[in-house]
Copies of this chain bind each other. A is one copy, B any other.
């Protein structure tokens, strides 16, 4: 075994957080591994300048080995290598923003309210020698129900609260009885989390009104151990304490999200009395500390699909004492609670129709709703379509190429914010692929063609030049082709298993952050999506996020999610005899339109 590098302490003063960094690791990497919300749009390539920090104290060096005496200048966190304990300030614009109080919830109807946790305030007679009942007994009598005391950690707040507030107290109750106590006048909040392989998004919601107080997204800190599910599962299985490392990382991220959200809106973690978390089965298992070895190899069996509601303390989340975390149930294989949440949130669009619901991400889940049933598959699409793991990929941020068109057989790019291009985000990746085909720079098989003024070759690697220092290489093309084939093969086989032709689909619902910005037209050009009239497509954005927020404030929605998960039938693609042939054939960038023209 190789010796592990020395570790140093990094104190981020803006967030009041101290995390561990390894000697030689960049500040950006260490920060993300610990869920510190530093923006790093270009993924650490040093091109976007979105991760600016100032070293107030400590020792670093850079790839350039530059003079390090000047502590007080701003520098890129992705270029600063940790060489000692550091005290670090993050530039305000480099902090991933907490988005406050979305008004009107992006046009969605306000959710029907039926929260799991409710509160009521009671006043009780003061204790005296003549009435020496226990504090709990006093409150239980005032509640006028046969209530059991909450767990000791929640109960310990009662005596000081009663004595500080003139023998009045706010009692929080849930399906398991009394959950805890608070000072009169406080509010109850809940945390809804969409735990993705690449990104995690959290919403802080008022439980009495359903109002989204704030939201915040960061990279899943587990990304430090691999971009896709299989790398993480392998790390969990093979490395000593690998599973614990991954679990700790995601918990650090979730706790950082919760802390940063409550700070931003001025409530306390003790007011966060409920939580709902959805994720694919692997994220679910790694968070809950469940074994993944049986999930990582055929027949890909989850330890559990059913919903669970462990306490936050059991899970390792720092919320109100006694708060529970509702883990959205899984369907099977890698099709997890995030897909269930997306199905729940988009139900009005698919119910009673013949419909595909796709959640495109690092892992893509697809469900076919047909004849009263739901069949679901999972496709390992990888992060390429989201701009991850392509050579100049970046997040959808200022400077990201989002559109690529062809003018006079040359590529013309436009960026978010109309600034100098610094990289390529997900929608730009898809546009590039379609433009390369349109400009004749790429064969349908995916090979970049020599002889075009924008196609170059260095060290045997061919690439298309999009802008100064922004390339799209043959490797990038291949990564997108694999993603495209994975998703398309899933779609095709799902339809075939039900004896359906794509044309029979009334509607294709595309969920997910990437799916919200995807150009359906371009996706059809490269054959990612079936060639159907545009009006049959519906892009619903982060449906999983909407779904968990709904479940947070509505018990019936949790019950509905349970039914959806129990109804949906998981189909393991690799169990289909000619899966492999389908997959290989779908690597070609052929639309059905093109096929029709060709035949």
User: Do B314 and A132 touch (CB < 8 A)?
Assistant: no
Chain B residues contacting A299 (CB-CB under 8 Å) are 127-129, 131-132
Q: Which residues of B contact A570 (CB under 8 A)?
A: 132
Instruction: Choose the segment among A31-39, A222-230, A284-292, A505-513 that binds chain B (4+ C-beta atoms closer than 8 Å).
Output: A284-292
Q: Which of A163, A288, A303 has the most CB of B within 10 A?
A: A303
- Is A159 within 8 A of B294, CB to CB? yes
- The answer to the question of A293 belonging to the interface, with a C-beta cut-off of 8 Å to chain B, is yes
Tell me the complex Cα distance, A315–B294, Å.
Answer: 32
Interface: A468 (CB within 8 A): no
A300 at the interface (CB under 8 A from B): yes
Most chain B CB within a 10 A radius of its CB, from A131, A149, A301, A315: A301
A-B residue pairs in contact (CB < 8 Å), sample of 16? A129-B575, A130-B575, A132-B570, A133-B305, A134-B302, A134-B306, A135-B301, A137-B306, A140-B306, A149-B308, A152-B289, A155-B290, A158-B304, A159-B291, A159-B293, A159-B294
A136 at the interface (CB under 8 A from B): yes
| Interface bits A292-330 vs B (CB < 8 Å: 1, else 0) | 011000111111111010110111000000000000001
The verdict on A559 contacting chain B, using a C-beta distance below 8 Å, is: no
With contacts A134-B330, A158-B303 known, what are 15 further pairs, Cβ within 8 A?
A128-B299, A129-B299, A129-B572, A132-B332, A133-B332, A134-B305, A135-B294, A135-B304, A136-B306, A149-B304, A151-B310, A151-B314, A155-B288, A155-B303, A163-B294
A310 contacts across to B, CB distance below 8 A: 151-152
Which residues in window 459-477 of A have CB below 8 A to B?
Answer: none
Which B residues are CB-close (under 8 A) to A160?
291
Does A43 sit at the interface, judged by CB under 8 A? no
Q: A315 and B152: CB pair below 8 A?
A: yes
Q: Which of A151, A155, A315 has the most CB of B within 10 A?
A: A155
Q: Are B313 and A314 in touch, CB under 8 angstroms?
A: yes
* Residues of chain B lying within 8 A (CB to CB) of residue A159: 290-291, 293-294, 301, 303
Contacts from A to B (Cβ < 8 Å):
127-137, 140, 148-149, 151-153, 155-156, 158-160, 163, 288-291, 293-294, 298-306, 308, 310-311, 313-315, 330, 332-333, 570, 572, 574-575
* Residues of B close to A134: CB separation below 8 A: 301-306, 330, 332
Tell me the bound Cα distance from A562 to B131 in angstroms: 20
* Residues in chain B near residue A135, CB distance under 8 A: 294, 301-304
Checking B140, B291, B572 against A156 with a beta-carbon cut-off of 8 angstroms, the contacting residue is B291
Q: Which residue of B lies closest to A333 (CB)?
A: B132
Closest chain-B Cβ to A35's Cβ sits at a distance in Å of 20
Residues of B within 8 A of A305 (CB): 133-134, 136-137
Which residues of chain B are near A306, meaning CB under 8 Å? Answer: 134, 136-137, 140, 148-149
Q: Which of A148, A294, A311, A332 has the most CB of B within 10 A?
A: A294
A289 touches B127 (CB 8 A): no
